[in-house]
Amino acid sequence: MHTECEKEILKLIKPKNQEKEEIWKIAGELKASVDKSGIAHGMVVGSVARDTWVSGDRDLDIFMLFDPSLSREELEEKGMRLAREIGLSNNGEIVEKYAEHPYINAHIKGFDIDLVPCYAVLSASEIQSAVDRTPFHTRYIKEKIGDHTDDVLLLKQFSKACGVYGSDQMTEGFAGYLCEIFIIYYGSFSDFIDAAAKWHPGIVIDLEKHQAKEFDDPLVVIDPVDPRRNVAASLSATRMYEFSEFARGYLLQPSCDFFIRKNTTKISEMEFFKKIKERGTSFYSIVFDTPGVIPDIIVPQLRKSVNSVTSLLERNGFSVNRADSFMGEKNCILLFELLTDKLPDIEKRAGPLVWDRNNSEKFVSKHMGKTYSGPYISENRYYVEINRKYPTVLDLLNSDDFKESGLGKHVKKSVFSNVSILKNSECWSGEFSGFLYDFIEKRSPLSDLLLEDNKKII
Amino acid sequence: MHTECEKEILKLIKPKNQEKEEIWKIAGELKASVDKSGIAHGMVVGSVARDTWVSGDRDLDIFMLFDPSLSREELEEKGMRLAREIGLSNNGEIVEKYAEHPYINAHIKGFDIDLVPCYAVLSASEIQSAVDRTPFHTRYIKEKIGDHTDDVLLLKQFSKACGVYGSDQMTEGFAGYLCEIFIIYYGSFSDFIDAAAKWHPGIVIDLEKHQAKEFDDPLVVIDPVDPRRNVAASLSATRMYEFSEFARGYLLQPSCDFFIRKNTTKISEMEFFKKIKERGTSFYSIVFDTPGVIPDIIVPQLRKSVNSVTSLLERNGFSVNRADSFMGEKNCILLFELLTDKLPDIEKRAGPLVWDRNNSEKFVSKHMGKTYSGPYISENRYYVEINRKYPTVLDLLNSDDFKESGLGKHVKKSVFSNVSILKNSECWSGEFSGFLYDFIEKRSPLSDLLLEDNKKII
């Protein structure tokens, strides 16, 4: 059923018995500690519970199911106290975290373990928050996955190689749960690849045939345990169609390469300088301290900021070829590649409609005798041609109009405290050298695979 | 009722008795010649018949009204023969012309006379072509104008000073007949000026309250003799609102200057060169022989061509500040002022939608390995960044894409036979020096009046 190459990949990515025993030992101990507390029931969830984790993953999710009659405050207080106790009693290095609700992240014996309090509701329709849904996902997948865990592993590895694995804001790709649903729905890895190769807008996957809400996301996959939820909500159109193209490539030329992640390539400062010259464009970057907030909050703000600044540039007559953003450990960058970065001294400005007599008189008397051309009337409106407000991109990016252009909340705060506006090779830094390489060489994962020879397997 | 200044202007523009006698003598003779033929009835039409012509005008319209039972061919044959005979028997220098139908233009004793055959229909509802309507216009105005001929004269002179007099394609302004209707509707020159100062979209003037058709022209003036015709159809929004502004200016500061036509100012080659440097923009012109066709055919084609070429430039990434055209005696010019005339070597090109599998494969294999960036996927579409087709405006204007960009019929023919693509000060020539001055200094007639001191009266 699997090709030779898929079998070889499975050998690499399927956890060995020793690895399984190790992870289940600690999982069992932690679950027992929860049960022993007498106030909550422990449950191993996530890919470990479903037997769909890729060898080498050291992530473990232990849920602590509390009585639903507890108040939200009681749940948080008791849950967090228990999680902390369990973490500390295992000599764990613990950190309090917050998604929709607080939980404890503990590093114990080399594993990255989340201890998450939730309500033990009886049916998925009674869930009070997203975390309550997780146990239902685990039960559903364990019941349905049958002997298709190998297909899930192949799909996860294939998705990683395509750069589409992960439902976080940075990746905008597939959650592990989504991969499992794909395999259950299509029956096997190869049937799913056939289907994905034909993706187009309007596809709805509804395993339980119980859809109860419309979505206009690129792909709609109704959650088998929640008829009003799209499991693929965080998948972007770009990632979806990149995956579709990658699947087509695999069908045409099946090879192990489709399971091997590309190495990160970094561009040198000199090479970056050379590429800018070749392209003939101008690069501008806005660099500021990475705000101390989780990436899932910052990344959408970076995207919003890039869009706002792109609009600002275009509104001021500067033509943007492409723009992107990147969140580094220390610094964030908004990067803009411009076709034009300098404009003539003259700028056409629209005035009021001619029949707006009051404003017309103000406009005309303000500008009369102080223009290159005008005031003149075209169709029904006044125009003047006067000195350009921002003749260069640097003028604009150093202005208040930039700072008020609609940056995200944390981005704005960071920009106000400390920002660098950089041009061309100044945009280069070691921290951004991988991002800059990808920006310049920008190719779909398949094009990249066909052109490059630089891969690594995990 | 008229101000002192209006009275002074009237003294200048109202035909003297001697001038009236002279024009009526020849008009009477020509009408008599038509009557004498026995096959048509002569009629003096136009502003002479209505006593609304401005002193110095040497235009005279004699219509020859034939039996409506004649066929179109018979009308044309008999009408043209009679017109030719009358013209020649008066020692006229005659030219056959063609508007909707053929007519004779004759120069007799210093007058520019049109001899126009038409049908003597009994009511305006039976007209067979636009010329048949003219006698009805003359009868209507003669009946209604009463003692307001002076107001019509003032309005015509005021409109000339504003550059809005003439319903030809170049002017896009008021016909004489439209001026007469304005005065009949509003009662006097000053009441009309009050109204025009308040013009806004949606105004409908319907003297006979018989509108039978909707129009989306800037101003709608229902023809009193034809409920389905807009007398202001040829008025552009620009001219309409320029006039409105001019009227406001007159109300604020009434003076004789509002009746005095601006002299044509020509820009010198050196001054033009200096202005281009000041503006920091680039000028490009397309110059070709003026086709041997009447202006009312060529002018709209020049406008269409300017719009087509502007779109072509913008589509190719070149930003146009302003563009215009001019028809000279010998040459026509399409003029473009550009904010950017040179672009980087790189050009982003959109490819097929990703789910269009056939075209996607063609696109990818065509471009793979031969791009600056890409093929990449953004949202649902392929893109590549490759060598720009036209890195400069000159590259584009010297290409076949320019020649096939949607030039008007006669313009295209002339461009294919002989065209010059010129840049910056090369665009200057004596023939275009007035047009170039107006393009650079571009101001509304009122702004011009307030800033300039260079006028002439006719």
For residue B23, the SS3 value is: helix
Mean pLDDT within B84-108: 88
Distance in angstroms (rounded) separating the CA atoms of residues B342 and B329: 33
* B456 touching chain A per CB within 8 A: no
Whole-number average pLDDT of chain B: 94
User: According to the model, what pLDDT value does residue A99 have?
Assistant: 75
Measure B390 CA to nearest chain A CA, in Å: 13
DSSP B205: E
Give the nearest partner residue to A380 out of B237, B380, B450, using CB atoms.
Answer: B237
Distance in angstroms (rounded) separating the CA atoms of residues B55 and A60: 100
Residue pair B367/B373 in contact (Cβ under 8 Å)? The answer is no
What letter represents residue A313's amino acid? L
Whether A279 and B201 lie within 8 Å, measured CB to CB: no
The percentage of chain A sitting over the pLDDT mark of 70, rounded to a whole number, equals 99
User: According to the model, what pLDDT value does residue B343 have?
Assistant: 97
Q: Which two tokens stand for residue B370?
A: 């031969």
| Residue range A20-75, pLDDT digits in tens | 999 999 999 999 999 999 999 999 999 999 999 999 888 999 999 999 999 999 99
B chain contacts of residue A238, beta-carbon cutoff 8 Å = 377-379
Measure A283 CA to nearest chain B CA, in Å: 12
Nearest to A247 by CA among B354, B368, B352, B365: B354
pLDDT at A369 over 70: yes
Nearest to A341 by CA among A302, A304, A314, A364: A314
pLDDT at A457 over 60: no
Closest alpha carbon within chain A to B282 = A344
Distance in angstroms (rounded) separating the CA atoms of residues B76 and A337: 67
* B198 touching chain A per CB within 8 A: yes
Whether B443 and A374 lie within 8 Å, measured CB to CB: yes
pLDDT grade for A287, boundaries at 50, 70 and 90:
very high
Whether B242 and A348 lie within 8 Å, measured CB to CB: no
| Residue range A375-395, pLDDT digits in tens | 999 999 999 999 999 999 999
Length of chain A: 458
The b-or-e profile of A234-273 (16+ CB within 10 A means b, else e) is bbbbbbbbbbbbbbbbbeeeeebbbbbebeeeebeeeebe
Whether B354 and A281 lie within 8 Å, measured CB to CB: no
Distance in angstroms (rounded) separating the CA atoms of residues B254 and B9: 13
Distance in angstroms (rounded) separating the CA atoms of residues B193 and B174: 14
Owner of token pair 């440097």: B277
- Angle at which helices A72-89 and A17-37 cross, to 10°: 130
pLDDT grade for B458, boundaries at 50, 70 and 90:
very low
Q: Which two tokens stand for residue A146?
A: 């049958």
For residue B345, the SS3 value is: coil
CB proximity list for B367: less than 8 A, separation 6 or greater: B351, B374, B375, B384, B386
User: According to the model, what pLDDT value does residue A456 have?
Assistant: 55
DSSP string, A414-436: HHHH-EEEEEGGGG--GGGHHHH
> Interface pTM (ipTM) of the complex?
0.91
* B201 touching chain A per CB within 8 A: yes
Measure B191 CA to nearest chain A CA, in Å: 18
pLDDT at B349 over 70: yes
* A281 touching chain B per CB within 8 A: yes
- Measured from the Cβ of residue A179, the count of other Cβ atoms closer than 10 Å reads 25
| Residue range B388-441, pLDDT digits in tens | 999 999 999 999 999 999 998 999 999 999 999 999 999 999 999 999 999 999
pLDDT at B454 over 80: no
Least confident of A106-115, A302-311, A389-398: A106-115
A chain contacts of residue B241, beta-carbon cutoff 8 Å = 354-355, 377, 379-380
pLDDT at B457 over 60: no
User: According to the model, what pLDDT value does residue B121 have?
Assistant: 92
Distance in angstroms (rounded) separating the CA atoms of residues A458 and B293: 76
Whether B344 and A281 lie within 8 Å, measured CB to CB: yes
pLDDT grade for B97, boundaries at 50, 70 and 90:
confident
Q: In what order do the strands lie in the sheet with B373-378?
A: B346-353, B381-387, B373-378
* A451 touching chain B per CB within 8 A: yes
* B350 touching chain A per CB within 8 A: no
Could you tell me which residues are beta bridge partners of residue A332? A288, A327
Sign of CA dihedral A156, A159, A163, A167: negative
CB proximity list for B230: less than 8 A, separation 6 or greater: B213, B215, B217, B220, B221, B222, B223
pLDDT grade for A455, boundaries at 50, 70 and 90:
low
* B441 touching chain A per CB within 8 A: yes
Give the nearest partner residue to B241 out of A380, A441, A444, using CB atoms.
Answer: A380
Mean pLDDT within A83-88: 92
Sign of CA dihedral A230, A233, A239, A241: positive
Measure A392 CA to nearest chain B CA, in Å: 13
User: According to the model, what pLDDT value does residue B455 have?
Assistant: 55
Q: Phi/psi at A411 (nearest 5 deg)?
A: -60, -45
What letter represents residue B163's amino acid? G
**Which of residues 218 through 237 in chain B touch A, CB cutoff 8 A?**
218, 237
The terminus-to-terminus CA distance of chain A in angstroms comes to 23
Give the nearest partner residue to B447 out of A278, A357, A368, using CB atoms.
Answer: A368
Distance in angstroms (rounded) separating the CA atoms of residues A240 and B223: 62
| Residue range B329-342, pLDDT digits in tens | 999 999 999 999 99
pLDDT at A170 over 50: yes
Measure B31 CA to nearest chain A CA, in Å: 43
A357, A376, A440: best mutation site toward chain B, by most B Cβ within 10 Å? A376
Please state whether beta strands A373-378 and A381-387 pair in parallel, antiparallel, or not at all (unpaired). antiparallel
User: According to the model, what pLDDT value does residue A458 have?
Assistant: 46
Quickly count helices (H) and strands (E) in chain B: 17, 17
Please state whether beta strands B331-338 and B282-289 pair in parallel, antiparallel, or not at all (unpaired). antiparallel
Measure A79 CA to nearest chain B CA, in Å: 42
User: According to the model, what pLDDT value does residue B453 have?
Assistant: 58
Please state whether beta strands A226-230 and A373-378 pair in parallel, antiparallel, or not at all (unpaired). unpaired
| Residue range B172-217, pLDDT digits in tens | 999 999 999 999 999 999 999 999 999 999 999 999 999 999 999 9
Ramachandran region of residue B350, left (φ > 0), alpha (ψ -120 to 50) or beta?
A: beta
Residue pair B1/B188 in contact (Cβ under 8 Å)? The answer is yes
Nearest to A445 by CA among A177, A250, A169: A250
A chain contacts of residue B360, beta-carbon cutoff 8 Å = 245
A chain contacts of residue B348, beta-carbon cutoff 8 Å = 321-322
**Which of residues 376 through 415 in chain B touch A, CB cutoff 8 A?**
376-380, 382, 385
User: According to the model, what pLDDT value does residue A93 have?
Assistant: 87
Ramachandran region of residue A271, left (φ > 0), alpha (ψ -120 to 50) or beta?
A: alpha
Give the nearest partner residue to A364 out of B354, B364, B447, using CB atoms.
Answer: B447
Please state whether beta strands B59-66 and A102-108 pair in parallel, antiparallel, or not at all (unpaired). unpaired
Please state whether beta strands A331-338 and B93-98 pair in parallel, antiparallel, or not at all (unpaired). unpaired
Where are any strands of DSSP class E within B73-231?
Answer: 93-98, 102-108, 111-119, 204-205, 220-223, 226-230
User: According to the model, what pLDDT value does residue B275 have?
Assistant: 97
pLDDT grade for B263, boundaries at 50, 70 and 90:
confident
User: According to the model, what pLDDT value does residue B355 have?
Assistant: 96
User: According to the model, what pLDDT value does residue A90 have?
Assistant: 86
DSSP string, B388-406: -S-SBHHHHHTSHHHHTS-
Distance in angstroms (rounded) separating the CA atoms of residues B186 and A299: 65
Residue pair A157/A166 in contact (Cβ under 8 Å)? The answer is no
Give the nearest partner residue to A348 out of B321, B346, B382, using CB atoms.
Answer: B321
pLDDT at B379 over 80: yes
The percentage of chain B sitting over the pLDDT mark of 90, rounded to a whole number, equals 88
Residue pair A222/A155 in contact (Cβ under 8 Å)? The answer is no
Measure A164 CA to nearest chain B CA, in Å: 13
| Residue range B22-79, pLDDT digits in tens | 999 999 999 999 999 999 999 999 999 999 999 988 899 999 999 999 999 999 999 9
Q: Phi/psi at A7 (nearest 5 deg)?
A: -65, -45
